[in-house]
A and B are shown apart, each in its own frame.
Chain A
Amino acid sequence: MFSEFLIGVGILVLLGLFFAVVIAVAYKKLRVYEDPRIDQVEEMLPHANCGACGQPGCRAFAEKVVGNELSPSKCTVSSPEGVKRIAEYLGVDAGSEEKRIARVLCAGGKSEAHNLADYKGTMRTCRGESVVNGGPKACSWGCLGLGDCEVACDFDALHMNEDGLPVVIPDLCVACGDCVEACPKGLFELMPVSQKLIVQCKSQLEGDLALSKCSVACTACGRCVADGAPGLIEIKNNLAVVNYELNNLAIADATRRCPTDAIIWLEGAQFKPPQISPLPLGKVERYPIEEDLENRYWQ
């Protein structure tokens, strides 16, 4: 009786030893060396996995940084101290990256650009509206104001204001590009903060026709072209386009004679921030419109 028990134990011990040897050999033979610094650097990164650096996640970015292919400052989510810590740990130059933020190229909110029809559908997202005859707005380029970008923003940096326009909070925006992808009208652009002269319009219509659809449309009148430095601004497709290669020549005076405020000089955030205080961090929800709360299933 007792010997049978011993046989069982013995077999298990032998099997265990056999597999231990197999594993030990396999560990020696098949081992792939991985730089232990990658784990350390990943630990120091913010774990947002946002993709702002252009890499498919923080781990991939850490590998590139350790391999000296990217500089630590490419991570726009890390604080400057965080970037410095990574640079000191690796003994490399932190590099300098100008802060970029998302800018909205449309200023036509509810009170500026009118609707031609009522959208009665239950799919109350910008994407949903945009496939129904391009959305109810008269201007076919303009912001639909239902806040797909607000939902897409992982950093709570974007809120819809009462006028139905997205307000980007410059301090929180890390230029990850989620809003760029979310917007069906392609109204977002990631711009360095030093680019302060911005045309907030995409309408390719001219003059009164553009104005008939939106009160803040660029009418292609060309006043800003005359007031800006030579070659700084030009009219392309009935739209003022700023040549940012000459950005150091840009002055606020170029916007002074604009009849519609389509071109503006920006210091800080665009548009009026929402009156209702932003929701607590980490809990991004829709701007509370009553109908929206009823039709929750489709959000």
Chain B
Amino acid sequence: MSTSLIGSLQTFPHGVHPEEYKELSCNRRIERMPFVELYTLPLSQHIGAPSKVVVKEGQKVRRGEMIAEPGGFVSVGLHSPVDGVVHAIDLFDHPNGQVLPAIQIRTDRFSTQQLQLKPVPPEEMTTAGFIKAVQWSGMVGMGGAAFPAHVKFSIPEGKTCKHLMLNGCECEPFLTCDHRVMVEYAEELIDGTRILARFVKPEKVYIAIEANKPDAITLIREKAAEMDFAIEVVPLEVKYPQGAEKMMISAILGEEVPSGKLPLDVGVLVSNVGTAVAMSQYFRQGLPLIERVITVSGTALKRPSNMLVPIGTPMRDVVDYCGGITVPSPRILLGGPMMGMVQKNLDVPVVKGTSGILALTDHEVRDLDTYSCIRCGRCLDACPLFLNPALLGMLSRKGLWEEMEENHIMDCFECASCSFVCPSGIPLVQSFRVGKAMIRERKAK
């Protein structure tokens, strides 16, 4: 646990301070995205095996009905976001740049889109039943990686969850969706946490919030006292990547998660605040994961907002609803500006792991020329994992993949702090991704 020089807030060592730009959307209430004509639901929106289709083309589906079931343990269900008809089951563009199988649903224009769902009371459930319910509800981690939530929640034998941590850091610039969720869904958040705590049985529950969201910090403290649930609100220093789970654990407990290990190995379970809200909505109202809150922001966008968007809505419709784009060729990103995926195609759908759509102008995007590494060491001071980005970048350039692996490239979670601080404009993270892809390709052989 290291503290900053200025205040007494907890944080992790290293890291960077990018400009925030959160003022664009942090005070805008969450709006509901109107229903559009076509929804595309890729079968692999999560890490793990793709879901298995259980509907046929031309079949009528209700809003919230299951259209694909889990295709294995590390896989989740998929539900229709609207009343409508299955239009096609085919290959469609996926936000990750590939073309992958997906279900397309055409909305029924005359439907009222009323939900007809029954709550799933968690009170009489066993732990196994709870895990299965979470899996079939399609729940994934809403932070961005979209790791199936039930896999995280199923604690293997011999391990215990001592600390349950909710992640409301939201350290990425521009993004404000978790902030708005905490402010507007505070009761559901605490309720969802209580349901989760019932099954994983932690000794202590924390919620980590960066200090730039004082309204969320006070509100959650109040609500927790009101609802009589012991939750410790930990304000953390505003620093990137504070929201990465390993960094958060190091900030709160001062404990480091060893290389290649999971947070559960040090007795910690981390969950995003959005996931906790979705859990409450599923168990209390029966609503599976068919919509999520995303931030649509960026200086190239007319009306930055926080939107409650049904999964599968084309990005183009969301952007158009927010007033459209004001510059000729913006840079479109899915997720935050530091870790988000650049998009070449606006016709891809919003998926479960999408936390934001950003349209940036040349003003925010640094298009530097690349020069030689001058050995200044700023990337070493930035890397939260204490890796040596300069060395790894050089190894990648020379094609020395095995040496990269020896230098722990596989621990890198691509937070892009090193690229951010590099004065020579070296595309470090891009070269790490190349290296990781090569290492995985060679291992697969």
- A interface residues (Cβ-Cβ under 8 A, vs B): 115-118, 120-123, 125, 127-128, 130-136, 138, 140-141, 184, 204-205, 294-295, 297-298
Identify B99's interface contact among A118, A130, A140, CB under 8 A: A140
Give 21 CB contacts A-B under 8 Å: A116-B344, A120-B367, A122-B427, A123-B427, A127-B434, A131-B434, A132-B430, A133-B96, A133-B97, A133-B342, A133-B343, A134-B97, A135-B97, A138-B345, A140-B93, A140-B97, A140-B99, A205-B91, A295-B370, A297-B371, A297-B372
Contact with A along B304-340 (1 / 0, CB 8 A): 0000000000000000000000000100000000000
Number of residue pairs A-B, CB distance < 8 angstroms: 69
B437 interface contact, C-beta 8 A: yes
Contact B342 A134 (CB under 8 A): no
B211 interface contact, C-beta 8 A: no
B257 interface contact, C-beta 8 A: no
Query: CA A205 – CA B90 in complex, angstroms?
Result: 9
Given known pairs A133-B342, A298-B397, the reply for A127 and B438 (CB within 8 Å) is yes
Contact A118 B329 (CB under 8 A): yes
Write out the residue numbers on chain B whose beta carbons fall within 8 Å of the beta carbon of A125: 434
B266 interface contact, C-beta 8 A: no
- B interface residues (Cβ-Cβ under 8 A, vs A): 91, 93, 96-99, 329, 341-345, 367-372, 397, 425-427, 430-431, 433-434, 437-438
Write out the residue numbers on chain A whose beta carbons fall within 8 Å of the beta carbon of B97: 132-135, 140
Query: CA A127 – CA B439 in complex, angstroms?
Result: 13
4 pairs of A and B residues whose beta carbons are closest in the complex: A134-B97, A122-B370, A117-B344, A133-B97
Identify A184's interface contact among B369, B425, B437, CB under 8 A: B437
Given known pairs A116-B344, A117-B344, A133-B97, the reply for A298 and B369 (CB within 8 Å) is no
Write out the residue numbers on chain B whose beta carbons fall within 8 Å of the beta carbon of A118: 329
Contact B431 A123 (CB under 8 A): yes
Contact B342 A132 (CB under 8 A): yes
Contact B371 A205 (CB under 8 A): no
With both chains docked as a complex, state the minimum distance between the C-beta of A107 and any C-beta of chain B, in angstroms: 18
Write out the residue numbers on chain B whose beta carbons fall within 8 Å of the beta carbon of A121: 427, 430
Contact A127 B427 (CB under 8 A): no
Select the residue from B342, B425, B438 with max chain A CB neighbours within 10 A.
B342
Identify B425's interface contact among A122, A130, A135, CB under 8 A: A122
With both chains docked as a complex, state the minimum distance between the C-beta of B353 and any C-beta of chain A, in angstroms: 15
Smallest CB-CB separation from B431: which chain A residue?
Answer: A123
Write out the residue numbers on chain A whose beta carbons fall within 8 Å of the beta carbon of B98: 134, 140
Smallest CB-CB separation from B90: which chain A residue?
Answer: A206
With both chains docked as a complex, state the minimum distance between the C-beta of B427 and any C-beta of chain A, in angstroms: 5
Write out the residue numbers on chain A whose beta carbons fall within 8 Å of the beta carbon of B426: 298
Identify B344's interface contact among A131, A133, A184, CB under 8 A: A133
Contact B344 A127 (CB under 8 A): no
Query: CA A134 – CA B97 in complex, angstroms?
Result: 5
Write out the residue numbers on chain B whose beta carbons fall within 8 Å of the beta carbon of A134: 96-98, 344
Identify B341's interface contact among A122, A128, A133, A298, CB under 8 A: A133
Write out the residue numbers on chain A whose beta carbons fall within 8 Å of the beta carbon of B343: 133
Contact B433 A122 (CB under 8 A): no
Write out the residue numbers on chain B whose beta carbons fall within 8 Å of the beta carbon of A122: 368-370, 425, 427
Contact B434 A128 (CB under 8 A): yes
With both chains docked as a complex, state the minimum distance between the C-beta of A124 and any C-beta of chain B, in angstroms: 10
Query: CA A67 – CA B30 in complex, angstroms?
Result: 75
Query: CA A95 – CA B96 in complex, angstroms?
Result: 48
Write out the residue numbers on chain B whose beta carbons fall within 8 Å of the beta carbon of A120: 367
Write out the residue numbers on chain A whose beta carbons fall within 8 Å of the beta carbon of B368: 122
Write out the residue numbers on chain B whose beta carbons fall within 8 Å of the beta carbon of A184: 437
With both chains docked as a complex, state the minimum distance between the C-beta of B89 and any C-beta of chain A, in angstroms: 13
With both chains docked as a complex, state the minimum distance between the C-beta of A123 and any C-beta of chain B, in angstroms: 5
Write out the residue numbers on chain B whose beta carbons fall within 8 Å of the beta carbon of A131: 430, 433-434, 437
Query: CA A184 – CA B425 in complex, angstroms?
Result: 24
Smallest CB-CB separation from B438: which chain A residue?
Answer: A127
Contact B431 A128 (CB under 8 A): yes
Given known pairs A120-B367, A122-B425, the reply for A205 and B372 (CB within 8 Å) is no
Identify A127's interface contact among B99, B371, B372, B437, CB under 8 A: B437
Contact B437 A128 (CB under 8 A): no
Smallest CB-CB separation from A135: which chain B residue?
Answer: B97
Select the residue from B343, B344, B345 with max chain A CB neighbours within 10 A.
B344
Query: CA A116 – CA B433 in complex, angstroms?
Result: 22
With both chains docked as a complex, state the minimum distance between the C-beta of A129 and any C-beta of chain B, in angstroms: 9
Query: CA A106 – CA B97 in complex, angstroms?
Result: 18
Smallest CB-CB separation from B93: which chain A residue?
Answer: A140
Write out the residue numbers on chain B whose beta carbons fall within 8 Å of the beta carbon of A123: 370, 427, 430-431, 434
Given known pairs A127-B438, A134-B97, A294-B369, the reply for A204 and B91 (CB within 8 Å) is yes
